[in-house]
Amino acid sequence: MRPPVTELDIPTADEGFYKGFTKIVAISGKFLVAVLIIWALLPAASLTFGPAAEGPASVFVDADGNYSAAASVVLGAVNSVILASFNYWYVYVMAFFVILCLVLALWPASGQLKLGLEDDEPEFTNFSWFSMMFGAGIGIGMLTFATAEPMYHWASNPATIQGINEGSTAGNVREAYVWSFTHWGLAAWSSYAIVGLALAYFSYRRSLPLTIRSALVPLFGRSAMEGFFGHVVDIVAVVATVLGVSQTLGFGVEQFISGLTRIGFGDWLQQTGADGTVRASAAGIVVALIVIMGASTLSALSGVGKGIKWLSNINMGLSFFILAFFLIFGSTFFGLQALFVGIFDYLVSIPGNILTVWASDGVEGSEASQLAGWQGGWTIFYWAWWIAFAPFVGVFLARISKGRTVREYVLGAMIVPATMCFVWFAIVGGTAIDLELNGDAAGAIVNTGQSDQLFAMLAVMLSDSLAWIMSVIVVILLLTYLVTSADSAVLIINTINAAGDEGPKARPHIVFWGAALALVVGGLIVAGGLGAIQTAMVIGALPFSLVMVLMGFSLLKAVVNDGRRSRRGLASTHDEIAAE
């Protein structure tokens, strides 16, 4: 057998503004993101066409031939095609990630392999490792959806659509948690874990650069990954990262603004639409993004070992405090029952839920169409979100996981965070459902928007002064989670652009990507609300999902071949090859 590739010469600039960066990746990524920002912010009255066009151009004009400027309209049209045509792909891809992670962890030959050399030890303690992983991976979404998602599925889910259960009743609680745990459980974290595992394996065992293309070397060879194809892979990863992180930041910004309004910063932060829905105002979005992205840029400049590490530890401490509060003062028995029964129901449901695809029969209002619409709006959306978020979280997980075994990594990056999500959803979301079931909330929680439901629940549970104090703590936790996610994303984007260089990056590039994330989030929210970000993210996730599948097969091939090398006494790590 030939020895594995331990060198990947990715061309980077030797001087100038892009010194240390792969110019084609860095410039292309910036250009594509800039185009998205300009498109989203383009004024509605800036362009007109003549007569209403036919074909693809007609998407851009209204009945009077005027340019709609609604990026969300175009994104929505493309998104509908993707959800209808690639639903099977998304479902089976996520099932593949779950199975592959479990096989690599449980297979003795691969589980004991170290992500590094034999004498490498983990850089971070278990607590810091888990804190950074959880904060970057899912902390923001958990604060928003720990209350909102169980409440929604309690009212509507496939069982209610099929007439099996009645929504918003005690008999529908178990089904609500099956789907909440499905969306935030093993599938979500397996998509992160597979990217991080592949990158850590090739970077720390074979000394390849810590960038997405390195994980495809066993499949396509060194020359392809050093050239144009490798550049395309990294560009796709950068764009997917920007869109995936923007989705997460978008949810966080909306909830952050709701929290600021609750603690008395003024009603100007929000506005009420003609349909009565409350959403963040343009001024509120600008203020929130200036605070969040300013702090995250400063943290990114300090690096992973300083700002990000300390912020992550603060995140975890505050998270445990809030969780302890709900365990003591919330609906403890109801929540614990939801947790243990929900985990059992979820585990039993896994084979069916992660492989079932509901297809529309084309009849509006039919059961098949409703089920397909529900799955597209929830499950497929989540699978796309996790995939778009995976290059960012995966590179970050690889960066902080050197020295751990494959089994330790998978358990830490897949099982433990999923369990933490289950606890939050059961205790916090369970308290909200119980307050509505027993009549104490009287609709105060269920009738408010998802970004405000956590604060509404605190207002129901506590006196005005105590609710204000707890809301302040939640707002602080939101801010630290937002900053952690944003600054980690900036560092990861620069790492990919710099051909895997983990060292300090030029300050102007850090500032650029901090500003770019703020503009993407703000621009898409202003253009079409969170829906515009969601549809852009689903579109951006599709090409990267193919890259991730190839990474999974590449990793499996490398592990099998390294096992064959070990049995023949051949070198399989870069230090062994160098010694020969």
CATH of the domain at 547: 1.10.4160
Burial of 89 (0-12, 13-18, 19+ CB in 10 A): middle
Within a domain: residue 16?
A: no
Within a domain: residue 496?
A: yes
Which residue segment(s) compose the domain that 477 sits in? 23-579
Collect all residues with Cβ–Cβ distance below 8 Å to 151 and sequence separation of at least 6: 429, 432, 433, 436, 445, 446, 453
- Centre a 10 Å sphere on the Cβ of residue 502 and count the other Cβ atoms it contains: 17
Measured in whole angstroms, how far is the alpha carbon of residue 155 from the centre of its chain? Answer: 25
- 3-state SS assignment for residue 279: strand
Identify any residues that bridge with 66 across adjacent strands, giving them in sequence order: 48
* 116 vs 526 pLDDT, higher one: 116
170 residue type, one letter = A
Predicted local distance difference test score (pLDDT) of residue 175:
95
Within a domain: residue 6?
A: no
Predicted local distance difference test score (pLDDT) of residue 234:
93
- For residue 315, give Cα distances in angstroms to 50, 102, 290, 415, 476: 54, 28, 20, 20, 9
| Structural domains in the chain (count) | 1
Q: Is the pLDDT of residue 81 over 80?
A: no
Within a domain: residue 5?
A: no
Q: Is the pLDDT of residue 215 over 90?
A: yes
In 304-404, alpha helices (H): 309-329, 332-353, 367-375, 381-400
* 188 vs 491 pLDDT, higher one: 188
Query: What would the two tokens of residue 76 be?
Result: 């929505």
Most confident of 278-292, 400-414, 430-444: 430-444
338 residue type, one letter = A
Query: What would the two tokens of residue 65 be?
Result: 């031939």
Q: Which of 117, 1, 208 is nearest to 217 (CA)?
A: 208
Give the number of residues written for the chain.
580
Please give the share of the chain, as a percent, with pLDDT higher than 70: 84
| pTM: predicted TM-score of the whole model, two decimal places | 0.86
How would you write 347-366 as a 3-class SS string?
A: HHHHHHHCCCCCCCCCCCCC
Q: What is the mean pLDDT of residues 433-446?
A: 92
Within a domain: residue 11?
A: no
Q: Is the pLDDT of residue 26 over 70?
A: yes
251 confidence band (pLDDT: 50, 70, 90): confident
d(CA 178, CA 191) in angstroms, rounded, equals 19
Q: Which of 242, 163, 121 is nearest to 514 (CA)?
A: 242
Q: What is the mean pLDDT of residues 42-64?
A: 35
Query: What would the two tokens of residue 105 be?
Result: 């962890």
Predicted local distance difference test score (pLDDT) of residue 137:
56
Burial of 254 (0-12, 13-18, 19+ CB in 10 A): buried
Compute, in degrees rounded to 10, the torsion defined by CA atoms 323, 325, 329, 331. 0
Within a domain: residue 2?
A: no
Predicted local distance difference test score (pLDDT) of residue 194:
94
Within a domain: residue 67?
A: yes
Within a domain: residue 9?
A: no
Collect all residues with Cβ–Cβ distance below 8 Å to 330 and sequence separation of at least 6: 427, 428, 430, 431, 461
